[in-house]
Structure 1
Amino acid sequence: MTRTTTHHDDPPETTCDTTAAIDISTAAGELLLRYREALTSDDVEPVAFRKGADRVSQEFIAGELARRFSGDAVLSEESPDNAVRLGASRVWIVDPLDGTREFGEIGRGDWAVHVALFENGSLTAGAVALPGLGITHSSRDPVPLYNVVPSNPRVVVSRTRRPEPVMALARALDAELIEMGSAGAKAMAVVRGDADIYAHAGGQYEWDSAAPVAVAQAAGLHVSRIDGSALHYNQENPWLPDLLICRPELAATALEVLNR
């Protein structure tokens, strides 16, 4: 599932952390794929099934992080918050299943597993597993930005929620809209060059964006809040409501439109 390329100029500890993020997110994704096989049963209750998937992935990731990095703190969507993380130098920021709705629909691949490390004030490692597509993107193996930005940029949007700032951006650029589920899937579409802009203004938490941002930064993409300010992680309140990930050539125009 994982595409990996070692960067020999990376510090050894960074390489180790990123390898762990890749391994853990990929393995959690494979676990979720096996769990998902139950969807073919008529006895599955959808809400309980999705909650069970969150729990299965959370328990696996928490166990692996505790085994490998017992001294590190963890911030996860699926576990109680712990104020100890605020004073920690290393904090893993995790979303065990991003795109629970899509996970619960047979045949959909736009869901993800996020594992990122926030260390001494910055994101130093990140992996986004897309198990339904058989891919794990990471901050260690960025995809080169070779393709040319099309005259009508491609903007990834939610299937169900389309905030007006994002739609105004799409109209201003005469953009092609691409519907997709999870935040991780949207961000990785930009990383792969399948889309050009992912702008979000409908509310998120740190675990929704930390791993995607770590991977996008490594790929040379623009990342910021929609007002152009920096994204800050491991805050007392993990609410981080908006996000822009896009090709650097489109950043100035996107920020201008988003802030009108």
Structure 2
Amino acid sequence: MKASFPIMAESDEQLAQRLATAAGQILRDLQASGEFADKALGKAGDARANAMLMHELRAARPDDAILSEEEKDNVIRCESSRAWIVDPLDGTREYSEGRSDWAVHVALAIDGVPTVGAVALPGLGLTLTSGSPQPLEPANVPPKMLVSRTRPAAEAVFVAEKIGAELLAMGSAGAKAMAVVRGEADIYLHTGGQYEWDNCAPAAVAMAAGLHVSRVDGSPLVYNCANPYLPDLLICRKEFAADALRLAAEYSPE
């Protein structure tokens, strides 16, 4: 007689990792197909990755709320303590240009806290998760600070000058945040406007890795809000947090 074993349910961390990785593969396959190019490639990639994510999340967690960049929002989600917050393709421009600094975000916020996160970096063949945090590498000397390729925040440039940091331009928010997690950089300060789907998964992964994660005024990032606009954040090694927050507060546009 064969022994029977219980079927283990997929954890939230496992689900996030599986879906982020699978969406990344869909996007890579679409790139390789040559079916679309330029902006049409980004639009098609967003749609296909989002369709898979919505189908799988609704099947696996039917009682949870979902907030996706590519779905019409319904604020009834705010009544749920558990909300999946996803960005099927973060860094559409970079994806369409064939660069590697784009990402897929799958996160779960519980009572507003970014609790579970997976950030796939398909161009690098990596998926980083809150469930398997990797040890932080030693800080860079001089420190390295990430800014947007297209619109570097003035506050970030100011802070970098004051602490003697080297500026690194990079694409998506997820790619920048994961560069800090991976030790390629030390500080990611953003004030140019984002939404919850842009930073929930990166915040969860960064927090699990032991990094400082907050708004630029030092307050916590809160998710599953009626208005998903979340315009600024600081993700950095903890030894740089106090100076970064102080200097960002000191910045005054001329």
Shift of 1:150: 3.1
| CA distance in structure 1 between the aligned counterparts of 2:109 and 2:140, rounded to whole angstroms | 34
Gaps of 5+ in 1: 1-11
Paired letter, 2:217:
D
In the other structure, the counterpart of 1:138 is: 129
Amino acid at match of 1:110: D
Matches within 5 A, 1:242-257: 242-257=232-247
User: What code does the residue aligned with 2:241 have?
Assistant: A
Q: Report the counterpart of residue 3 of structure 2 in structure 1.
A: none
Deviation string, structure 1 residues 8-35 (Cα, Å, up to 9, x no partner): xxxx98x700100000000000011000
Q: How does 1:233-244 map to 2 (within 5 A)?
A: 233-244=223-234
Task: Please tell me the residue identity of whatever aligns with 2:23.
Answer: A
Q: TM-score, normalised by structure 1?
A: 0.90
- Match of 1:77? 69
Query: What whole-Å deviation, never above 9, does each CA across 1:99-137 have from its counterpart, x for those lacking one?
Result: 00000012x110000000011332221100000100000
Q: What per-residue deviation string (whole Å, max 9, x for no partner) do you get for residues 71-107 of structure 1?
A: 111000000001221101210000000000000012x
2:205 aligned residue (215, 227, 234): 215
Q: Which residue of 169, 188, 197 maps to 1:198?
A: 188
Aligned match for 1:35, one of 30, 33, 42: 30
Aligned length: 243
CA distance in 2, matches of 1:160, 1:121: 30
Instruction: Quote the RMSD (CA, aligned, Å).
Output: 1.4
Whole-angstrom CA distance in 2 between matches of 1:220 and 1:233: 20
Letter aligned with residue 25 of structure 1: A
User: Is the 2:211–2:236 Cα contact (8 Å) retained in structure 1?
Assistant: yes
Please report how far the alpha carbon of residue 176 of structure 1 lies from its aligned counterpart in structure 2 after TM superposition: 1.1
Work out whether residues 37 and 96 of structure 2, in 8 Å CA contact, stay in contact via their aligned partners in 1: no
Determine if contact 1:32/1:57 at 8 Å carries over to the other structure: yes
- The answer for the alignment partner of 1:4 in structure 2 is none
Aligned mate of 1:52, from 41, 44, 55: 44
Match of 2:147 in 1: 157
**How many angstroms does 1:45 deviate by?**
4.6
CA distance in 1, matches of 2:182, 2:89: 21
Q: Percent identity?
A: 53
Using the TM superposition, give the Cα deviation of residue 177 of structure 1 relative to its aligned residue in structure 2, in angstroms.
Answer: 1.3
Q: Deviations over 1:40-98 (max 9, x none)?
A: x7xx4522221111100100100110111111110000000012211012100000000
